[in-house]
Structure 1
Amino acid sequence: MALKTQVMSPWGWGLSGALVGALVSFLWFAPAHWLAAAVQQASHGQINLQDARGTVWDGSALLTLTGGAGSPAAATLPSRLHWTLQPSGLGLALQLHTPCCLPQPWQVLVQPRWGGLQVAFSDTASTWPASLLAGLGTPFNTLALQGQLMFSPQGLSASWVAGRGQLVGTAQLQLQEVSSRLSTLSPMGSYRLTLAGGSAPELQLATLQGPLQLSGRGQWVGGKLRFVGEASSAPEHLGALSNLLNIIGRRSGARSVITLG
């Protein structure tokens, strides 16, 4: 029995090539607002890329943090956030920079792993206005913090395999010259949050200097943070810090106990 072989005609090949080219062109020039919509949905409305310009692969927007759906709280970064996104092996390489806070590009590499995903971050330091946190809503909009947030990752990467997450490396967040509308004392002090990876990542809070003393330690257990800390004041500053101590934890004399999880 003879086998019949059908060969695509030149018109067929041409049409197929045109369709593939149109699809590639369509994806390459995908507008930036598509990415903005995806980020908004993934963050449940807490991270918004407003006035998005350019494409998904090379664009910019105004980064706005909010308290989520129905929250009146919102805070916008003072300069536009720029990004580039391009294929890297089987994954994607993302670069972020913004003149106010991230002058050197922050590189994020997303790679698939067997049964999961890995996200690796470059060791790029950045400085952000503490006022940006107010956009996240309660309790940050009540505290209305002022000062600088200095973020420094080192060998930081996160992976998810079979539904389980693991963090490698460290990250440090310094809160410099912090003040709040809940206290007449300005600044209240400077503080350091240290995140250390491992099978159960740890978080440590320490005071660098200032009349408001903060300390604490926490750990992620089963994907949830359990943190116990303390805020206290010297007697001569208690009057100026009393209102703040009432808000941030369970008041006990001149100190306030902070618990999460």
Structure 2
Amino acid sequence: MPAEPPAPSDALTRILVIDDDRKLCGLIRDYLEPLGYTVAMEHRGPEGAERAMAEPWHAVILDLMLPGCDGFEVLRRVRVKSQVPILMLTARGDETDRIVGLETGADDYLPKTFSARELLARLRAVTRRATLNQAVKVPQEQLVSELVAGTVKLNLDVREASLNDRPLSLTPVEFDILAALMKSRGRIRSREELIESLRDRQYDVYDRSIDVHIAALRRKLGDDAHEPRFIRTVRSAGYVFVHPLAKTPS
């Protein structure tokens, strides 16, 4: 197998692995460090959450099953204070675990049967996107780009969302999907088009996790998939953002 190229932008890309499987942590460290990453490890949930919030990281690799508190609780604690990219590991690859993790704020997930190459690709995708998100932030007085549809507003410059003039907490992926739908309001966007709209995210074209993010968006918008006010599913085609003044076809 040919050698992987080093981390693309930062020779000291800092990764925190929170997993009680010490052997797996060691394997991840041994694989990533020669590629230009520095890897730290924690093996309990509470300590992992504290360290994730206390130090600057480019990404966190978080296991679901942990002593002290599980990965979902770690994720909740970290998201109160930090938007560090988080890649979750699930032992069973269970869909319910993936849905809960993504809705709680995980940026991506991998079943524990992952290959080293897939881990690296996913890791690079979430760290690149986080870097780009920071790069687009500008002083408040320069903000000019905003999407408005009824009671939903997106400020594209600072990547802030609101519903009924109240802040709406969205993950980076949810924000990108909602922005893509609002930009093409009234026009169907396929899953593949929505995948393409995500910032440097590497997806298999058949990946159905777009549906998981749509479900999370609906929940946060207070939307109903059967009687949508915002996002309507078009069978075998994709999704469409419903114009707030238009009637939804039956």
- Looking at secondary structure, tell me which structure has more helix per residue: 2
Greater relative contact order: 1 or 2 (C-alpha under 8 angstroms, separation 6 or more)? Answer: 2
> What TM-score, normalized by structure 2, do the two folds share?
0.25
